[in-house]
Structures are given as C-alpha cells and as structure tokens.
Chains A and B, each alone.
Chain A
Amino acid sequence: MNAMTKEDTRALIGEVLEAYPEKSRKKRAKHLGVYEEGKTDCGVKSNIKSIPGVMTVRGCSYAGSKGVVWGPIKDMLHISHGPVGCGQYSWSQRRNYATGTTGIDNFVTMQVTSDFQEKDVVFGGDKKLDKIIDELASLFPLSRGISIQSECPIGLIGDDIEAVSRRKAKDVGKTVVPVRCEGFRGVSQSLGHHIANDTVRDWVLEKAKVDFKDTPYDVAIIGDYNIGGDAWSSRILLEEMGLRVIAQWSGDGSLAEMEKTPKAKLNLLHCYRSMNYISRYMEEKHGIPWLEYNFFGPTQIAASLRKIAAHFDDTIKEGAERVIAKYQPMVDAIIAKYRPRLEGKTVMLYVGGLRPRHTVDAYGDIGMQAVGMGYEFAHNDDYQRTTHYLKDGTLIFDDASEYELEKFVQALKPDLVGSGIKEKYVFQKMGVPFRQMHSWDYSGPYHGYDGFAIFARDMDMAVNSPVWSLTKAPWKQG
C-alpha cells in the first residue's frame, strides 16, 4: 500500500519539476497536483498545448476523428486523406470489433488512403479525391458512404474538400463527409472528436430522412467503440432490462443507425469526452435527454442501470433490478476468486479522457486502489466529473510526459500501471505489472458484467504473474 502523505506527494511533484528548464517548469506545474477531499475539481489545468520536446503521450485531431469517432462506422469507407503514414499507423489498431464481411459490407479493418505524393501537395489533392471517390464507389458497391479524414497537408494547401464532397455525394449517390481533422489543429485527439461530432451533425443528421417506427423504450449507445466487443457486452444488459437499442456509436455502428438516433428516447453516453458534443446537439435540436453511464465493474454497472431505468416506467425499472439480480451470483463468484489476490494493491492510471475515472470503482470492486491518475486529453469538465471517484491525496497529472510518468511510478511504486502501448514496456522493464487501458491489451471486452469477469482476470494475471519475481538475478538480490 502506498504510504505517501499529501506533503510527500507535493514534494515529489516539486522534485519532478526540478528537471525542467524554468519556462517549461512553470507551465508543467499547473498540470500536476494532489487531490484535496471536497474540492470540486482536481486542481490541474487541462486541454492546453503540449510543451515541445517533452515526449507527450498525446496524439492528434486525425487520431481523434479517424481513429476514434469515424473509423469504427463499418459500412463507410474512411479515406486517410494525405500521405500514407497516418492511415498506416492507425490501421486496425483500435480493435473496434464489427460484424460483416471485410471489403464487402464492412470496411473497418481497411487502410484506404490518397497516399499523397509531392505533386499532390504542389498542385492540390481535390482532383485526386474526386477520382478516389469514383474508384471506391466502383470497387465497393455495398458501401453506404465515404468519410474524408484530413491529414496535416490538406488544411495547409487550401484544398476544398467540402466542395468535392457535395459534388461527389450527388455523383455516387452516397453520403460523403469531409472532416477537417488535420493533425495540427488543437492540442490533442480531443479537438478531432469535436470536429468529427460536428461533421456527423452537419453531413449526416441534418441531411438524413428517416422512416422509422419508434417505441417508448428506444435508446442509443453513444461513445462506445466496441473495443474487444465492449458495446456488445453493454448492449446485452440494456436489452435484457427491456430497452431497445436502435443505434451504436460508433463501435460496430452503421450509417443507418446514426441516422435513426434522433428517434431515440434517451441517449446513453459512455465516453463523455469524445461524444458529448453530438449528444448535446440532439438534446437541443431533438429534445433527447442524455446521461453519462459507466459500465466498468459491478458497483458502477448497477448504479448506471438504475440511473438509466429511472428515465423509464416500472417495466424497465423492474428490468434493471432483474438484470442486476441475475448477474449478482456471477459477480460474487468473480470477486470471491480475484479480490483476495488483489486486495490492497495499488494502481496508477494514465489514459485518454474518460477511463481513469470510469475504471476506478471497477478496481475498487476487486480490492485495488488508485494512487495516481491522469488524463492525456481531458478538459476541465472531465476533472470535475472525476472528483467523486477520487480518494484524498491522489496524485493527479494532466498531459504527463514520459519523464514524469517514469518518476511518479518510481516514487509511488504502484502494483499495476494502466496506460498505453508507448508506456507499457517502459514500466514492464522496471518490473512493474502493466495493462494497456486503450486496447485492453488485446483482451476484453471490459464493459458490462461479462466484461468485468475478464477485467478481473486480466488485472490478476498482470499483478500476480510469476514473471515479476524473476526480474532480479538471484546473485543481485538482498
């Protein structure tokens, strides 16, 4: 168990900041803090430009739009518009599971790119884009639409992808969505989420004409990317409690589902950070309420099911209780199996804009406590939404550099670190167990009751793996 006092933690922050040149030290100081019980935020600044040269973990707007929001929509082709790299590095890396036949009616695991060459940069890429859309329509007749995911050069060379999109949508008779998610826009993935949300609003929802018979129990899952099947192990609970899920955004999602969403009675928002924008839009425009729910771990799942049910009549409320009761024995068995092996262990979390707060109670369910937490690209409202999950004295770090993370782990000595692929091997080399909390380390799902069982199993196998007792050569021990 971590024995650091708040004063120790503040001293640690001071020590870590010492390494920076003065200007950067001042800037970084605002992003590091110690949570004080009762405060309404975490005491750190956020959503500010990363400092050059410090090895931020953040990505870019393109990653937020193509990689997160748009990429999982399975019946559309998503063009990585610009040079080859962005699409190549993000190809099939987010594990957005989707049913369908790849290359025929599902295009999620394909890398479609305009592969910009020097001449495209010099003369502009609009003509090439025009031709690309024709070629895609001819090669993939069952695709329902196309999105254009702009890479850095597009916005710098003055291409008019909106004009091309309007023209080609008529030509090919499909939805065509231009997305201005060039990587230099904004400070992280986060602006890409927002830009992508806005294009859903402008190029899908406002254009759609939907003929659809709704029911009083229609809901949409918003902000679940179906990583390792998360949206499915969530959907199953909603359906079991009597709701009808008419759309999934965007994991295993389709254009038709997106278009139907304004018919929902309630939007269920899992990843607040990446899809609150479109939820607010539907609230204002269509009067659809939304709520942020949390399907990590039985404590939060039960609370969320009840919170969701409260929006509906007694059938659904009874349904929620029925679902909670149905899974309770399995949950109890999982906790009985894993909690004794993990009780009192500590975890340090550094993930995107949601999961640190959403997984804290799931760790609590298996006896683990978060001693340090940070977000790559959260905003102030995320930190506000985080406070009630936090214990007094938790170390908070926003947009942490690899240097800071390394020093924090050395000092806090957590039993587990949860972060991304770039961090994984750094900490494993140090002998610290690690789980990737973006990709679930190729496991999952982690959402819902079925997912909780896997989550508990995975954390146990990471923390209690025998390999960690082998890291020191016996002649070096003692």
Chain B
Amino acid sequence: MPQSADLVKDHARLFQEPEYQALFARKSEFECGPPAEEVARVAEWTKSWDYREKNFAREAVVINPAKACQPLGAVFAAAGFEKTLSFVHGSQGCVAYYRSHLSRHFKEPTSAVSSSMTEDAAVFGGLANMTEGLANAYALYKPGMIAVSTTCMAEVIGDDLFAFIKQSKDKGSVPQDFDVPFAHTPAFVGSHTTGYDNMIKGILHHFWGSRERVAGESINIIPGFDGYSVGNLRELKRVLDLMGVSYTILSDTSDIFDTPTDGHYRMYDGGTTLEAAKAALNAKATLSLQTACSAKTLPWVADKGQATQSFNYPLGVGATDEFLMAVSALTGKPIPEALEKERGRLVDAIADSAAYLHGKRFALFGDPDQAIGLTRFLLEVGAEPVHILATNGDKDWAARVGAILAASPYGKGGKAWAGKDLWHLRSLLDTEPVDFLIGSSYGKYLERDCKVPLIRVGFPIFDRHHHHRSPVFGYQGGINLLVKILDKILDEADRQSVAADGISFDLTR
C-alpha cells in the first residue's frame, strides 16, 4: 500500500509508487494514444529547424503568450490609489480572473467588483447594471473612489462609460461629487500594459481635467505595471527621499499588495492619496518608468504643460544612473554620496562575479520595458542576451532593443522578437540553445522541455514565493537581481559537476 499515516505522501510522491505506475499502464489501453516511438519521433521533430519554420509561419494562432488583457492592468493601476475600488463593467467572470491572477502572484487579497452583465444586458446595454452596481459597491465596501474599466463584452456592445456614470449618479447610485474616474479598456486592443496606461490617464483626466495648472517643484512618477511593485516602489521612495526630492507616485501599489497578517483584514491600504493625485497636476514633470505603460498618458500630461520623460524599467547600473541624473536635472537636487556609494557596491558585486557571467548566453521574455532593462543589465555584466521576446512588444520596441544590442560587443548575436509567444521561443531555444532563460513562471515549461535553467524574473511568478517583496529597481535591486542570476548559474555549475562524477565540485567559486 503506497500510503501510510507515518509518512503521508501527496501527489509529488504518491504517483511514483508502483501501484500507480501500473494504473497508468492499464489506463493507457483505453486512451488509444499514439505509440511511444511516434511520440518520441514527433517530439524530436518539434526541436528541428523544419518545425521552427512552420512555427514561425503561423499567422493566426497564438500559443502560450506572455501577455494579459487590458482590464488586468487597469485593475492593478487603480489599486494603487487610496481606498479605491475597481469596478469592471461587463461580464463577471473576467473580474474573478483578474482577482485570482493578481492574488496568485502577490499572495494577497485583490478587491474588484463587476457589473455582472448577462444576456439581457447584451441586448439592452449595461446601464441598469452600472447604476445598481455602483450603489451596491458604494454601500458595501465604502470606497473613497470607484475606478471603472470595461471587459470586452461591454466594449463590443458599445457601452459608453461617461454617459453611464453620469446617468447613474443622476439616479443617485453614488453622490454627485463622489470620484468615479473611468477608462475604456477593450481586451482586443493592446495588453495589460495598455490597460494600465488607460486607467492612469482616466484617473488623471478625472482629477486634472478642467483645472488650471499652477506649476510647482514636485515631480510625478508613473511606475507602470510591475509584479515587483511592492519591493520596487519602496526602494524608489527610499532613493528619492535620500535625494530630498518632492514627488508623487501615481499609482503606489506597494502597500495594498503587502498587507500584514495581524488579525485584521485591510481591504484598502496605503496608495496615492486622492489629494496628491489632484495636486499632481501642478508638478514640474512626470516621469514614466515604463514607456509601454504610459504611451497615451505622457503626451496628455505634456499637453498640460509638464515636462515628461520615460524610461525602460530602470534596473542595473546604467539605467539607474540615467534615471537618477534625470531626477537630479529636473529637481536641481544633487545625487547624494550615499547613492554613489550604493552604485559602487553594485559595481563591486558585478566585478566580484563577472567571471561567472561573462559570455553566458541568455534568452529572456517579459513586458517590453522590463525586457529592455534586463537586456541592458545582461550587457553590463558581460553576458550575452540572445533571444529577447515580448509578446506585447511592437516594432518600435524591437528597434530599441536592436539599437541597444548593436551598441555592445555582447549584443552582436542577439535579436528582439516582438509579438511572438512562448511557443515561438521554444523553437528558438531548441534550434539556437542558450545557457539560461529569464522570465515569469510560464517559463517553467520551457525550462522542462528545452532543458534550459529558468531564472524567475517578471510577472506572474506563481510558483516561487515572495519575490515581489525584494526590489529589482535601482542599485539595490541590481544586487538582488545579480544574486538571483548568480545563484542559478552556480547551482547549475554544481549540478553539472555532480553529473560529471564530481570533478569541478569546488567548495569555493
């Protein structure tokens, strides 16, 4: 008998027991699957150049994409404002999905409500759902603001959020002066980064729309969709505080996705205050840390008279330098010696470990700006980014990555793949292998199938815990990232040396 009270075996070990192995053999008789040799033959063929060509000839089907849809980004963006509840207008299943997706990554509750539209709303429109829904959400969850976005159902039938919110308020579902910013977030346009952009713009439009700007000295920072927002934003604030800069982060998700277990559930916690969001109109400048997450917002902000600048997920030495210098130039605040010392420590760490990084070939995938940040970092440490893929990247993104690669001797063999998915990446890894893969948890299938060790960086991380708590931004984040990469490289060196009869199983590396 495989199971016992002394040692309870769960799925990880139970099904390895002979009783279950025999069960699998019995079951296969009824499955009528292909013979093992045929499976092996086809598996081998999928690794070939022939298969790669077929795979890249795809025009219609998308397989294992590394992107999500707009409303996810909108819900994430809205969560970073004080006491803000996301209200997603359309089918309710979508909201269940956004909530579970974010909760699986952050291991935190995610609050959002739906207008629960069904067949009748598809015919008559969802105004009644919005009116009733806003009233219920307001009464039950006592939010300070309700941020409305849309599922594709509401977009296909053409529901007009501006008119619906106005009519709902007229019917008394929420007070007239209650803040209900909105953004249309069709899932069939762009990705979650687009939805983030639209929601930030929607919220700023709501607060800034008709007001006159009185230019001040503060700066705004739009961090963008980021699975590391908890660690990253705390690090960003620490750095800006060290510089003595006056700033507003538009949207600060660092507390809502990191609430304590102390016997009290906080549905709302932290976030950018609504007062600060209003006052952000008067800022001197707005900086976006991810170009793809502010494509519409930044030009609109520039129209308001602010200086704007966007970055590509500032991690590593050079990108952090650029970001800090930009902040310094805008605010007139010098970069303090403490930060210069931190910079030196990151460079010191890279120097200590460069020998293990130099010339290692990497593939990486993720959101466009994060992919750029990681590419630059790999080049800085002497590694060679080979396949760089962003399912939600566009031609401009590919051109930017191309330029970065061309500027470094370590980038000569690299190529950016915009709009491709992880099934494409599988072919790339099979035909042009690399030493390591960087990406989200979805990369674990590639790790298994292409036998390339995965370094988990990105969103979502479902199968490792608490990574989001440590920053990857800035010099400190650079050290975290370096350690993460090195741990995998050195673990792999040990694993390989054990496989090679223990030769090179060095104590000191």
Q: Is residue A185 within 8 Å, beta carbon to beta carbon, of the partner chain?
A: yes
**Minimal Cβ-Cβ distance residue in A for B45:** A141
Whether the pair B30, A247 counts as a contact (CB closer than 8 A) is: yes
Q: Is residue A40 within 8 Å, beta carbon to beta carbon, of the partner chain?
A: no
Q: A153-B152, A330-B4, A450-B3 are in contact. Are A425 and B109 (CB under 8 A)?
A: yes
Name the segment of B91-99, B247-255, B292-300, B356-364 touching the other chain.
B91-99
Whether the pair B60, A101 counts as a contact (CB closer than 8 A) is: no
- CB of A35, distance to nearest CB on chain B (Å): 25
B69: chain A residues at CB < 8 Å are 83-85, 88
Q: Is residue A70 within 8 Å, beta carbon to beta carbon, of the partner chain?
A: no
Whether the pair B135, A53 counts as a contact (CB closer than 8 A) is: yes
Contact with B along A315-335 (1 / 0, CB 8 A): 000000000001100100110
Q: Is residue B163 within 8 Å, beta carbon to beta carbon, of the partner chain?
A: no
How far, in angstroms, from A24 to B173 measured CA to CA in the complex? 12
Q: Which of chain B's residues 132-158 have a Cβ closer than 8 Å to chain A? A: 132-141, 151-153, 156-157
Q: Is residue B24 within 8 Å, beta carbon to beta carbon, of the partner chain?
A: yes
A58: chain B residues at CB < 8 Å are 92-93, 96
Whether the pair B19, A236 counts as a contact (CB closer than 8 A) is: yes
Q: How many residues of B contact A (CB 8 A)?
A: 110
Q: Is residue A152 within 8 Å, beta carbon to beta carbon, of the partner chain?
A: yes
Whether the pair B93, A422 counts as a contact (CB closer than 8 A) is: no
Q: Is residue B198 within 8 Å, beta carbon to beta carbon, of the partner chain?
A: no
Q: A56-B114, A60-B93 are in contact. Are A236 and B23 (CB under 8 A)?
A: yes
Q: Is residue B110 within 8 Å, beta carbon to beta carbon, of the partner chain?
A: yes
Whether the pair B93, A403 counts as a contact (CB closer than 8 A) is: no
A336: chain B residues at CB < 8 Å are 5
How far, in angstroms, from A90 to B263 measured CA to CA in the complex? 31
Name the segment of B186-194, B215-223, B378-386 touching the other chain.
B186-194
How far, in angstroms, from A120 to B27 measured CA to CA in the complex? 41
**Minimal Cβ-Cβ distance residue in B for A248:** B27
**Minimal Cβ-Cβ distance residue in B for A246:** B30
Q: Is residue A19 within 8 Å, beta carbon to beta carbon, of the partner chain?
A: yes
Name the segment of B116-124, B204-212, B273-281, B402-410 touching the other chain.
B116-124
Q: Which of chain A's residues 33-52 have a Cβ closer than 8 Å to chain B? A: 49-52
Q: Is residue A383 within 8 Å, beta carbon to beta carbon, of the partner chain?
A: no
Name the segment of A108-116, A167-175, A282-290, A361-369 touching the other chain.
A108-116
Q: Is residue B39 within 8 Å, beta carbon to beta carbon, of the partner chain?
A: yes
Q: Which of chain A's residues 437-478 have a Cβ closer than 8 Å to chain B? A: 443-445, 449-450, 453-454, 456-457, 467, 471-473
Contact with B along A89-129 (1 / 0, CB 8 A): 11101000101111111000111111111101100000011
Whether the pair B91, A115 counts as a contact (CB closer than 8 A) is: no
**Minimal Cβ-Cβ distance residue in B for A445:** B11
Q: How large is the interface on A (under 10, 10 to 19, 20 to 34, 35 or more residues)?
A: 35 or more
Q: Is residue A417 within 8 Å, beta carbon to beta carbon, of the partner chain?
A: no
Whether the pair A156, B157 counts as a contact (CB closer than 8 A) is: yes
Whether the pair A454, B27 counts as a contact (CB closer than 8 A) is: no
**Minimal Cβ-Cβ distance residue in A for B426:** A103
- CB of B309, distance to nearest CB on chain A (Å): 30
How far, in angstroms, from A443 to B11 measured CA to CA in the complex? 7
B27: chain A residues at CB < 8 Å are 99, 235, 245, 248, 252
Q: Is residue A63 within 8 Å, beta carbon to beta carbon, of the partner chain?
A: yes
How far, in angstroms, from A105 to B64 measured CA to CA in the complex? 16
Whether the pair A113, B62 counts as a contact (CB closer than 8 A) is: yes
Q: Which of chain A's residues 240-282 have a Cβ closer than 8 Å to chain B? A: 245-248, 252, 254, 256-257, 260
**Minimal Cβ-Cβ distance residue in A for B186:** A118
- CB of A251, distance to nearest CB on chain B (Å): 11
Q: Is residue A142 within 8 Å, beta carbon to beta carbon, of the partner chain?
A: yes
Contact with B along A135-153 (1 / 0, CB 8 A): 1101101100000000111
**Minimal Cβ-Cβ distance residue in A for B115:** A52
A20: chain B residues at CB < 8 Å are 136, 139-140
A421 contact from B103, B122, B137, B264, Cβ within 8 A: B103
Whether the pair B96, A63 counts as a contact (CB closer than 8 A) is: yes
Q: Is residue B507 within 8 Å, beta carbon to beta carbon, of the partner chain?
A: no
Whether the pair B116, A56 counts as a contact (CB closer than 8 A) is: yes
- CB of A149, distance to nearest CB on chain B (Å): 12
**Minimal Cβ-Cβ distance residue in B for A438:** B100
Name the segment of A200-208, A300-308, A426-434 touching the other chain.
A426-434
A121: chain B residues at CB < 8 Å are 152, 156, 188
- CB of A172, distance to nearest CB on chain B (Å): 13
Most chain A Cβ neighbours within 10 Å, of B3, B68, B121, B264? B3
**Minimal Cβ-Cβ distance residue in A for B172:** A21
**Minimal Cβ-Cβ distance residue in A for B419:** A115
Whether the pair A104, B42 counts as a contact (CB closer than 8 A) is: yes
Q: Is residue B65 within 8 Å, beta carbon to beta carbon, of the partner chain?
A: yes
Q: Which of chain A's residues 406-423 have a Cβ closer than 8 Å to chain B? A: 406, 420-422
How far, in angstroms, from A99 to B61 measured CA to CA in the complex? 25
B60: chain A residues at CB < 8 Å are 114, 128-129, 131-132, 135
Whether the pair B141, A156 counts as a contact (CB closer than 8 A) is: no
Known: A121-B188, A153-B152, A445-B14. 4 other contacts (CB 8 A): A84-B69, A91-B64, A443-B11, A445-B10
5 CB contacts below 8 A, A to B, read A19-B140, A85-B72, A89-B100, A110-B423, A239-B23
Listed in ascending order, the chain B residues whose CB lies under 8 Å from chain A are 1-6, 8-11, 14-15, 19-20, 23-24, 26-28, 30-34, 38-39, 42-43, 46, 51, 54-55, 58-65, 67-69, 71-72, 87, 90-94, 96-101, 103-104, 107-119, 121-122, 129-130, 132-141, 151-153, 156-157, 186-189, 191, 259-266, 423, 426, 442, 445, 448-449
Listed in ascending order, the chain A residues whose CB lies under 8 Å from chain B are 19-21, 23-24, 49-63, 75, 79, 82-86, 88-91, 93, 97, 99-105, 109-118, 120-121, 128-129, 131-132, 135-136, 138-139, 141-142, 151-153, 155-157, 183-187, 189, 228-229, 232-233, 235-236, 239, 245-248, 252, 254, 256-257, 260, 326-327, 330, 333-334, 336-337, 401-403, 406, 420-422, 424-431, 443-445, 449-450, 453-454, 456-457, 467, 471-473
Give 6 nearest A-B pairs by CB, closest first.
Answer: A60-B93, A52-B133, A85-B69, A53-B133, A333-B5, A89-B97
